[in-house]
Structure 1
Amino acid sequence: MKKRFGQMIKVKPEKLAEYKKWHANPMPGVNEMIKECGLKNYSIYSRGEYLFTYFEYEGEDFDADMAKMAADPATQRWWDVVKPLMSPLPDRAEGEFWSDMEEIYHLD
């Protein structure tokens, strides 16, 4: 199964430099778990206080892979550091941290 994702969130303006610093050199195990869970072409962009991420999922069971990632101790330590730097969007869906976006156009 291959699916593309676009998501948005806000970074606390006073925390953007720290957010960039952490992502310039992620903690050990973080990138490995992202890949192990079927995520490819993972990118994060910033514009002011908004963050946009794009990634492709190439696994068989997205929910199971995301649960595996959430249960990983290295990922949990990473989230403990980076999640407090962000502010979810007020109109996010129930249970979302990053807000999913609707893909309206794609050209390979």
Structure 2
Amino acid sequence: MEKQIFGQIGRLRRDKIAEYRELHANAWPGVLKTIEDCNLQNYSIFIHDDLVFAYFEYTGEDYEKDMEKMAQDPVTQDWWTHTKPCFVKFSMGQDSEFYRDMEQIFYLEGNLECKGGE
């Protein structure tokens, strides 16, 4: 399967921004292993004020199955008891209470060689 690229956006509670940052500065090894086992790669989370943006690539065969596998993982469930309270309800749809999947409108893979003056 060709990789799928995801972007998600969410909003943090202002009194939980530092806690959310600290959790991700010390991400749990079991959570990282589950992310990898569920075929997510190049996972990044960005923050600006109280907004967070996540980017990841999915390289598996069945996204829904892998997300269910992640949701059933006890370590990840415990992790979510710490991270989910950091969010305010932000969803613009039915996919999640806390974040919204974004539509990808542009993607460039690889490097373009710049040749000036030619």
TM-score normalised to the size of structure 1?
A: 0.94
User: Residue 20 of structure 2 aligns with which residue?
Assistant: 19
- The whole-number CA distance in structure 2 between the counterparts of 1:90 and 1:19 is 18
- The whole-number CA distance in structure 1 between the counterparts of 2:40 and 2:18 is 25
Deviations 1:53-93 (A, max 9, x none): 000000000000000000000000000111000123142x1
Moved over 2 A (4+): none
User: Residue 5 of structure 1 aligns with which residue?
Assistant: 6
User: Residue 95 of structure 1 aligns with which residue?
Assistant: 95
Q: Which has the higher contact order (CA 8 A, sep 6+)?
A: 1
Count of matched residue pairs: 107
User: Residue 55 of structure 2 aligns with which residue?
Assistant: 54
Q: How does 1:12-91 map to 2 (within 5 A)?
A: 12-91=13-92
- The whole-number CA distance in structure 2 between the counterparts of 1:27 and 1:35 is 13
Unaligned runs of 5+ in 1: none
Q: Percent identity?
A: 46
Aligned CA-pair RMSD: 1.0
Unaligned runs of 5+ in 2: 110-118
Greater Rg, structure 1 or structure 2?
A: 2
TM-score normalised to the size of structure 2?
A: 0.87
8 Å contact kept, 1:9–1:99 = yes
